[in-house]
C-alpha cells in the first residue's frame, strides 16, 4: 500500500529547508532546483509546483530566512529584570549569541543583501524586515532613555535602537568572516564594558575633584 500523503505545508517546509542548505553552501546563483529537489528527496516537478520557478523559490527562502532571523524575542528572564538598562544589555547579549552562532545564516543574508542592489523586490523585503527588527528594540530603548534622561540627553529611541542593532550585526559579521578565531565571549565582555551604566555617584563629580578656575594676574 502506498504511504500516507505528506501535507503540502510540510512538503513546502521540507523543500525550503533543503534550499537553505544548498544556498548556504553554493550561494544564490549556484542554487539549482535539481539539487534542491535531490536534497529534499522530492521531484524537480514538485519544487516547481510549490514555487513556480527558481526565483519564486529564492524569494520564498528569503521570507523564511528573514522571519526566522529578524524576529526579536524578549523572554521572561529579560522581562524580569527591573532595570531597563539591564534589559537592553541582556537583549544585546542574547541576540549577539544567537546570530554569531549561525554563520551560514548570516552569510546567506548578506548574499541576499548583495542581490538586493539590483533587485527591487529583494531590497524591499529586506528593508521592511530590518526596519521591523529595529522597531522591536524601540520599547526597551524608550525605557532606557526615560530611566536615564541625563546620560541620554539628546538621544532618540530610534537612534539607540539603530546602534543596538549595529552592535548585533557587527558581531554576526565578524563571526561569519572568521568563525574559527572569533571569540564571542571576549566580544560580549568588551561590548558590555563599553555600554555599561555609569553609577549615579560617578555622574556628578564632587567639588573637590573639579579643576580649579585659573584667573589671570592683574
C-alpha span between 192 and 90 (Å, rounded): 9
Once rounded to an integer, what is the mean pLDDT over residues 6-19? Answer: 90
C-alpha span between 130 and 56 (Å, rounded): 21
C-alpha cell at 98: 544567537
Whole-model pTM? Answer: 0.74
Question: pLDDT digit string (tens) for 110-160?
Answer: 899 999 999 999 999 999 988 988 998 999 999 999 998 998 899 999 999
Predicted pLDDT at 201:
46
**Secondary structure (3-state) at 183:** coil
Check whether 49 has a pLDDT greater than 70: yes
- The percentage of the chain sitting over the pLDDT mark of 70, rounded to a whole number, equals 86
Of 11-20, 27-36, 118-127, 209-218, the one with minimum mean pLDDT is: 209-218
User: Please, which residues have CB within 8 angstroms of residue 112's CB and are 6 or more apart in sequence?
Assistant: 28, 62, 65, 122, 126
Check whether 200 has a pLDDT greater than 70: no
What's the helix, strand, coil split of the chain in %, to 5? 70, 0, 30
Contact 151, 198 (CB under 8 A): yes
Predicted pLDDT at 180:
72
- CATH T-level fold of 8-64: Arc Repressor Mutant, subunit A (1.10.10)
Amino acid at each position: 500500500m502506498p504511504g500516507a500523503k505528506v501535507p503540502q505545508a510540510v512538503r513546502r517546509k521540507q523543500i525550503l529547508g533543503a534550499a537553505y542548505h544548498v544556498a548556504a553552501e553554493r550561494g544564490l546563483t549556484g542554487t539549482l532546483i535539481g539539487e534542491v529537489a535531490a536534497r529534499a528527496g522530492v521531484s524537480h516537478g514538485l519544487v516547481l509546483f510549490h514555487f513556480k520557478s527558481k526565483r519564486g523559490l529564492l524569494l520564498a527562502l528569503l521570507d523564511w530566512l528573514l522571519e526566522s532571523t529578524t524576529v526579536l524575542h524578549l523572554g521572561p528572564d529579560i522581562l524580569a529584570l527591573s532595570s531597563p538598562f539591564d534589559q537592553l544589555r541582556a537583549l544585546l547579549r542574547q541576540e549577539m549569541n544567537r546570530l554569531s552562532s549561525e554563520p551560514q545564516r548570516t552569510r546567506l543574508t548578506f548574499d541576499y543583501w548583495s542581490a538586493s542592489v539590483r533587485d527591487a523586490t529583494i531590497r524591499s523585503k529586506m528593508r521592511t524586515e530590518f526596519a521591523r527588527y529595529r522597531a522591536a528594540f524601540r520599547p526597551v530603548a524608550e525605557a532606557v532613555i526615560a530611566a536615564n534622561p541625563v546620560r541620554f540627553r539628546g538621544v532618540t529611541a530610534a537612534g539607540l535602537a539603530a546602534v543596538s542593532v549595529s552592535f548585533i550585526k557587527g558581531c554576526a559579521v565578524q563571526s561569519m568572516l572568521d568563525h574559527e578565531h572569533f571569540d564571542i565571549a571576549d566580544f560580549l565582555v568588551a561590548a558590555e564594558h563599553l555600554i555599561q551604566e555609569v553609577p549615579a555617584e560617578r555622574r556628578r563629580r564632587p567639588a573637590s575633584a573639579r579643576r580649579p578656575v585659573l584667573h589671570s594676574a592683574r
